Amino acid sequence: MDVTVTVNGTTYERDVEPRKLLIHFLRDDLDLTGSHVGCDTGNCGACSVIVDGVLVKSCMLLAVQANGASIETVEGLAEGDELTPLQLAFNEHHALQCGYCTPGMLMSATALLRENPSPSEDEIAKALQGNICRCTGYWNIVEAVKSVAK
Amino acid sequence: MIQSSETTLAPAPVEVQKGWGGQSVKRKEDKRLLQGEGVFVDDVKRHGMGYLHFVRSPYAHAHITRVDVSAAEAIDGVYGTLTGEEVAALTDPFFQISSVPGANIKDFSLAVGKVRYVGEPVVAVVAETRELARDASELVEVDYEPLAAVVDARVAQDSDTPVLHDDAGGNLMWSGLYSWGDLDAAFAEADRVVKIPELHFHRFNSTPLECDGALVEYNRGVSQWTIHTNNQFPGFAAIMMGPAMKVGLDKLRFVTQDIGGGFGNKITSHPQLVVCCLLARKLNRPVQWTEWRTDFHLSMSHGNERWFRDTEVAVKDDGTLLGFRTKALDDAGAWLRYEPLGGVIWAQVTPGMYRWKHIELEFTQVATNKAPVSPNRGYSRMQHLWFTERVIDIVARELDLDPVEVRKRNYVRAEDMPYTTPNGCVYDSGDYAAMLDLALGLVGYDSMEARRADAKERGKLLGVGIGSTLDSGTNNFGQSRLINPELQFSGNNEVATVKLDIFGEIVVTLGTTPQGQGHETTAAQVVADILNCSVDDVHVRAGHDSYWNSHAGFSGTYASQFAVTGLSAVKGATEMLAAEIKKLAGAVFGGVPAEALELADGGVRIKESPDAFLPFMACGAIINANNAGLPEDLDVTLNCRYVYRPPFEVPDVETKMGNLTLTYACQVHVAVVEVDPETGAYEIVDYAAVDDCGKRINPQIVEGQVMGATAQAIGAAVHETYEYDEDGNLLTPNFYDYHVPHALDMPPLATGAIESPSPFTPLGTKGMGEGGGAGIHAVCAAIQDATGQIVTDSHNPYQRVWRLLQEAKA
Amino acid sequence: MLLREVEYAKPGSVAEALELLAANDGARALAGGQTLINVMKARAASPDMLVDLNGLDDLTGIELAGDGTLTIGAMTTYTELMGSAEAKARPILGEVCATIADVQVRNRGTIGGNVCSNDPTNHLPPLMVSVGARMTIAGADGEREVSAEEFFLGVYLTAVGPGELLTRISIPAGKKDGFAAVTLGADGTCIANAAATVNGSVRVALGCVDAVPVIVTAESADGVADAVRAANLEPPSDVHASSEYRTHLAEVLATRAAQEASAR
């Protein structure tokens, strides 16, 4: 089926099998490998992206369902080499180790901060509950998000 | 409830370091990772590559009576298949570390004739797309003749138990008796003998978020494979794969860049890598393999499950520990892979943190119809340290003594350092009692009785528990000879290359395969301090490539050693480079001796007349591209390779005495839990983690490792377990049933640090990061305190706690 | 990952969706997909066709009638319900939805999908039973309404037959509700749960103990534990809980839910 999506401002048109998950479409068809796969049951959130303003796990959505949508992924956060305050905070607070969960964490935190620019620690933890990190224990991630809260 | 953490330094003076070392320099590797520009193994693509999917066994134990791949191969877009029969014809079984009987098993990269656990790879299918490869794998016909399965190590050696490996003549893989000191004297001297019938350390692993994978290319012209992979110990993979594939190691080029977590779990992917290699050659195209989460849980590197049985502890009435004897029964799963090294690795920490002198441990490892085990953060020491900690708290309970006092009475003391253990290991430095005080202070131990009363008023049972463990780092591989005296391994090594390139770029190449430990940053800190430049001027190559020649037999990232082996190699190579730069400058300046020169401001200058300055760019250019007229005898390449070799002797195989590791980082964790007595559900309401890993090159990175190890320990203690039913089916094959901690599960954390520099390492550092599983025990001990019942399992889900409370009532 | 081949259809109306479902034996409705897509990844289910209900306006929206009755479109997401001013008329609904899975799943997962999948560990089936919800099911012959008690028939099985769709759920006015659960960790897989509503007497629906929610009633919260015991539950054992433990949890959670409901 023909699918047209706009990802980080660029429009792509591809012919895809209906069975293809959005995460595979992004990674394999569009070569946007920043979003990752960490599980096969929708638990880990490493594939989190923002579709038409809504944070979703791209492993639980078919690519064809995203037809016509505007998608934001980790690759679109920074302006060129200019990291966003959130990305800089992750570096400052050592909120990443292996970096595999990081793209999904950043998308979840970005979605949170848009909706609630001044989240409490508890609200941050709730916003990240769908993103698994196995390296950091989350403390520094919460710290990083808190540091950019207004 | 998550709460921010704060680091508290010990009151003991911490030496303030000058320069980059000792500073929390922000990580150099972060930028690419934050932009989604890391290169993880599944990101690597090649023209014409095929995707590999494994057909896996649905049975825990069965004969394979027929394999037919014709229907799969007939599908358009399917490139080909590989069967166990082909593997057996093309390769030799993997080399076994074990002596007999484990030495006799025949381990191939696909099941040959028989399957031995659910999820074992039986056939590999390669196709044009990932989806098609899986479709085709469903068309592979395999007939099985199911056999009874053994899933409980305790019955594995019974006469009526089915045998996994006929070649071994039974399910016993390896056994050995370790006995040091005088057990009879210890028990004769004892006021009390505390008997513990059975303790169980459960099966789990750290489940890195990225599973295993590879992209393998075969260069037919030179008969050489390039293996892009996230294997974290390519040196080990190479020595397993080369002989099996009957090729020299130079034909196996390992390349890694970013690895999505390792924790030891990515050491034993060599069977899958062999399959990829064979198919890349057979199909003459690049082969891509990505392991999905369920595959990983079913088949990859579970942590060692271990039983401690018939334990007897000789103690004095005042709580002085004299000695213990126990029988450790280790469940290796279906294949030995890295085993039975777990049968000796534990001995690095034989007495735990305590001064008992008389120890006997009978170690037995058996095979079961479960996934093969392999190293997992804290490998084998974690199981043993959990055991020693459990003994302390059970003894304290039996003698009605305070667990804090029993620990302090028996801890190895600061003034005893360096301390030689009963089996000849040398604990390098540390002040365990001071760490315990610091940790107790961080959770407000003095006011715990008031908190206990407060919890009781709210209908909750409060408990406090301590876990004190060692993270032994930098292995002496000579310990493998205690497993198998025939093995020709000993010592350890790591390599680094530091060079000045033509435009003066400082380029560092490591032999390690980091998975988030920040090696690019800490290596740059060490280099910058020696070359007296900025960390920003130091380019540490991302990842590992065995063709870079920065590769030694033990290269890799495992077993808590980078801060010692990796950074010592970096230090050695950089010092060589600094000396060469001075030698070159001395010649250029017309015969100035090295002592009169210094490195500064991105170059080298004469101390007394700083205007005589040669920038690194000029040095690099002269040597690499503008060298006419240089003195003939000037032995300078500005490309310095250094191999760090720690000082080790080969252990004595008869007495099993010897120094098995170079450094001993130490952890003291304290957990405070509140149990809901009606449901057994509990929450960790306070937590302190104190760590001493000697000199910290980058305290923030060190603290990050402490936090990560803490989170993994909490996960293992409360929720994470690989449970099998009696037929050998894994009941927790995904993150739905295998619950790892989420952000909301994390307790408030206070971290603390003491720095006791290691006297044995060039930088005073100690390997760290594994954390020894202190947290697992801290949670167990807290539950014991809250429920008043002896905790005998390392895994305590709510149901087990409820059961303990029922037993308390009865 | 890696689903079997499947056809995909995106109908423009409920009527068209019903036609597609009726015309294709192997067709299944795709709501939020937060369960179904996962099941398909495991290849435990492989429908021939997915009929995507996303974008059908007739299946969305939350209305509050003058008598306090809430009508919730089946394709309402958990997040939409949590943010709905109308849905606050029955506060327990938003409160329970906020404890389902995580932000991403709540953003896609739907109320209708939750009840139609009728996984025994889901939160909404017992809640729907306790609050006395009524389900409207559309089919070729028009619409019919069933009570929540009649709706849940078995594991993964509901009154929605082949060629039919759940279109909306109506929930009567009320406030005196409670809910309690024990999950793996703060927000993981559910081990046992209970929803309670006080309307004169106490009515508790127990989840995770049988194929469908089990209803017990008592005069007051004090009598709930006895009522649960009298129900002679025989819940399944699994890796997370033995039958005995679940039975015990059912009693504790039923009482807690009833106490919460009574206290409102």
Instruction: Please give the full DSSP string across B740-791, using - where no structure is assigned.
Output: PPPGGGPPEEEEEE-----TTSTTSB---SSGGGHHHHHHHHHHHHHH-S--
> Which of A129, A131, A132, A142 to mutate against chain C (most C CBs within 10 Å)?
A129
**With the CA atoms of C113, C116, C118 and C123 taken in that order, what torsion angle do they form, in degrees rounded to the nearest 10?**
50
CB contact under 8 Å between B737 and C239, yes or no, is yes
Q: Where do the domains of chain C lie?
A: 7-52, 57-171, 177-263
Q: Please name the chains neighbouring A, where neighbouring means 3+ C-beta pairs under 8 angstroms.
A: B, C
The confidence band for B550, taking pLDDT boundaries of 50, 70 and 90, is: confident
Distance of CA B479 to the CA centre of its chain: 17
Set of chain B residues whose Cβ sits within 8 Å of the Cβ of A39: 293, 734-735
Burial class (CB within 10 angstroms; exposed 0-12, middle 13-18, buried 19+) of B711: buried
Domain range for A100: 85-148
Q: Which of B56, B202, B116 is nearest to B723 (CA)?
A: B202
Set of chain C residues whose Cβ sits within 8 Å of the Cβ of A111: 103
Pick B723's closest partner by Cβ from C2, C191, C239: C239
Set of chain C residues whose Cβ sits within 8 Å of the Cβ of B779: none
Set of chain A residues whose Cβ sits within 8 Å of the Cβ of B736: 41, 43
CATH classification of C177-263, choosing from 2.60.40.1120, 3.40.1260.20, 3.40.50.300, 3.30.390.50?
A: 3.30.390.50
What's the CA gap between C236 and B319, in Å, rounded?
46
- % of chain B at pLDDT higher than 90: 95
Contact with chain A for residue C1, Cβ under 8 A: yes
Q: Is residue A71 part of a domain?
A: yes
Asked if the model's pLDDT at residue B12 lies above 70, the reply is no
Task: Tell me A21's DSSP state.
Answer: B
Average pLDDT over residues C4-19: 97
Average pLDDT over residues B724-752: 97
CB contact under 8 Å between C184 and B294, yes or no, is no
The CATH class for the domain spanning C57-171 reads alpha beta
Calculate how close chain B gets to A72, using CA atoms only, in Å. 12
Nearest CA in chain B to A43: B735
pLDDT tens per residue across span B471-491 = 999 999 999 999 999 999 999
pLDDT of residue B10: 45
pLDDT tens per residue across span A90-100 = 999 999 999 99
Residues 170 through 229 of chain B touching chain C, CB cutoff 8 Å: none
Task: Tell me B608's DSSP state.
Answer: S
The confidence band for B549, taking pLDDT boundaries of 50, 70 and 90, is: confident
Average pLDDT over residues A76-104: 97
CB contact under 8 Å between C1 and A21, yes or no, is yes
A64 shares its domain with A123? no
Specify the amino acid at residue A10: T
The confidence band for B6, taking pLDDT boundaries of 50, 70 and 90, is: low
Q: What's the number of domains chain A is made of?
A: 2
B391 Cβ partners below 8 Å, 6+ apart? Answer: B194, B196, B311, B313, B324
At B599 the three-state DSSP class reads strand
- Give chain B's mean pLDDT: 96
CB contact under 8 Å between A98 and B711, yes or no, is no
A58 shares its domain with A89? no
CB contact under 8 Å between C33 and A60, yes or no, is yes
Asked if the model's pLDDT at residue B145 lies above 70, the reply is yes
- % of chain B at pLDDT higher than 70: 98
Contact with chain A for residue B77, Cβ under 8 A: no
What's the CA gap between A61 and C62, in Å, rounded?
24
CB contact under 8 Å between B679 and C182, yes or no, is yes
Q: Is residue A48 part of a domain?
A: yes
Measure CA of the first residue to CA of the last residue in chain A; give whole Å.
Answer: 44
Tokens of B605: 């200058």
Average pLDDT over residues B546-575: 90
Contact with chain A for residue C117, Cβ under 8 A: no
- We report the CATH number of the domain holding residue A52 as 3.10.20.30
Calculate how close chain C gets to A88, using CA atoms only, in Å. 24
What's the CA gap between B219 and B680, in Å, rounded?
59
Task: Tell me B737's DSSP state.
Answer: T
Asked if the model's pLDDT at residue B16 lies above 60, the reply is no
pLDDT of residue C259: 98
> Which of B35, B43, B735 to mutate against chain A (most A CBs within 10 Å)?
B35
A108 shares its domain with A43? no
Q: Is residue A117 part of a domain?
A: yes
Specify the amino acid at residue C130: S
pLDDT of residue B613: 97
pLDDT tens per residue across span B386-439 = 999 999 999 999 999 999 999 999 999 999 999 999 999 999 999 999 999 999
Tokens of B78: 């399917």
- Give chain C's mean pLDDT: 97
Contact with chain C for residue B741, Cβ under 8 A: yes
What's the CA gap between B50 and B665, in Å, rounded?
45
Q: Please name the chains neighbouring C, where neighbouring means 3+ C-beta pairs under 8 angstroms.
A: A, B
pLDDT tens per residue across span C39-53 = 999 999 999 999 999
Set of chain C residues whose Cβ sits within 8 Å of the Cβ of A65: 33, 52, 54
Tokens of B410: 């028996």
What's the CA gap between B337 and C133, in Å, rounded?
56
Q: Which of A19, A51, A75 is the last residue of a domain?
A: A75
Q: How many CB atoms lie within 10 A of CB B188?
A: 10
Asked if the model's pLDDT at residue B175 lies above 70, the reply is yes
pLDDT of residue B772: 73
Q: Is residue A80 part of a domain?
A: no
What's the CA gap between B532 and B167, in Å, rounded?
60
Asked if the model's pLDDT at residue B100 lies above 80, the reply is yes
Longest dimension (CA), chain A: 44
Q: How far is CA B167 from CA B243, B363, B452, in A?
A: 20, 21, 57
Count Cβ–Cβ pairs < 8 Å, chain A vs chain C.
79
Nearest CA in chain C to A124: C103
Tell me: ipTM over 0.95: yes
A29 shares its domain with A47? yes
For tokens 């090649």, the residue is B46
What residues pair up with B471 in beta bridges, in sequence order?
A: B665
Kindly write down the DSSP assignment for every residue of B184-227, as one continuous string: HHHHHH-SEEEEEEEEEEPP-----SS--EEEEEEEGGGTEEEE
Calculate how close chain C gets to B116, using CA atoms only, in Å. 22
Measure CA of the first residue to CA of the last residue in chain C; give whole Å.
Answer: 45
Set of chain C residues whose Cβ sits within 8 Å of the Cβ of B130: 1-2
Q: Which of B419, B580, B602 is nearest to B506 (CA)?
A: B602
CB contact under 8 Å between C4 and B135, yes or no, is yes
pLDDT of residue B564: 95
The confidence band for B15, taking pLDDT boundaries of 50, 70 and 90, is: very low
Residues 203 through 242 of chain B touching chain A, CB cutoff 8 Å: 206-211
**Whether the Cβ atoms of residue C204 and residue C227 lie closer than 8 Å to each other:** yes
Pick B739's closest partner by Cβ from C2, C188, C242: C188
Q: Please name the chains neighbouring B, where neighbouring means 3+ C-beta pairs under 8 angstroms.
A: A, C
Specify the amino acid at residue C55: G
Q: Which of A75, A98, A121 is the last residue of a domain?
A: A75
pLDDT of residue B1: 42
Q: How far is CA C100 from CA B561, C96, C97, C104, in A?
A: 42, 7, 5, 10
**Whether the Cβ atoms of residue B721 and residue B732 lie closer than 8 Å to each other:** yes
Domains and CATH numbers, chain B: 3-25+301-479+650-722+730-809 (3.30.365.10), 41-149+211-259+267-299 (3.90.1170.50), 494-542+553-644 (3.30.365.10)
- We report the CATH number of the domain holding residue A128 as 1.10.150.120
The CATH class for the domain spanning C7-52 reads alpha beta
Q: Is residue A6 part of a domain?
A: yes
What's the CA gap between C28 and C22, in Å, rounded?
10
Q: How far is CA B198 from CA B175, B311, B391, B792, in A?
A: 19, 7, 11, 7
What's the CA gap between B448 and C91, in Å, rounded?
38
Q: Between residues B6 and A82, which one has the greater pLDDT?
A: A82
Set of chain B residues whose Cβ sits within 8 Å of the Cβ of A110: none
Asked if the model's pLDDT at residue C79 lies above 50, the reply is yes
Contact with chain A for residue C44, Cβ under 8 A: no
A18 shares its domain with A58? yes
Q: Which of A55, A75, A95 is the last residue of a domain?
A: A75
Asked if the model's pLDDT at residue B11 lies above 70, the reply is no
Average pLDDT over residues B502-519: 94
Lowest mean pLDDT among B291-300, B544-553, B734-743: B544-553
A89 shares its domain with A71? no
What's the CA gap between B78 and B72, in Å, rounded?
7
pLDDT tens per residue across span B118-133 = 999 999 999 999 999 9
Specify the amino acid at residue B688: A
Q: How many CB atoms lie within 10 A of CB B420?
A: 12
The confidence band for B18, taking pLDDT boundaries of 50, 70 and 90, is: low
Set of chain B residues whose Cβ sits within 8 Å of the Cβ of A140: 5, 704, 707
pLDDT of residue C20: 97
B437 Cβ partners below 8 Å, 6+ apart? Answer: none
Contact with chain C for residue A64, Cβ under 8 A: yes
> Which of A36, A60, A123 to mutate against chain C (most C CBs within 10 Å)?
A60
Set of chain C residues whose Cβ sits within 8 Å of the Cβ of A19: 3-6
Calculate how close chain A gets to C172, using CA atoms only, in Å. 30
Tokens of B17: 């370091």
A10 shares its domain with A68? yes
What's the CA gap between B149 and B118, in Å, rounded?
10
Distance of CA A144 to the CA centre of its chain: 16
Please list the alpha-helical segments (H only) found in B658-765. 699-718
C235 phi, psi to nearest 5 deg: -70, 160
Pick B798's closest partner by Cβ from C43, C182, C253: C182
What's the CA gap between B544 and B546, in Å, rounded?
7
Asked if the model's pLDDT at residue B568 lies above 70, the reply is yes
Contact with chain A for residue C48, Cβ under 8 A: no
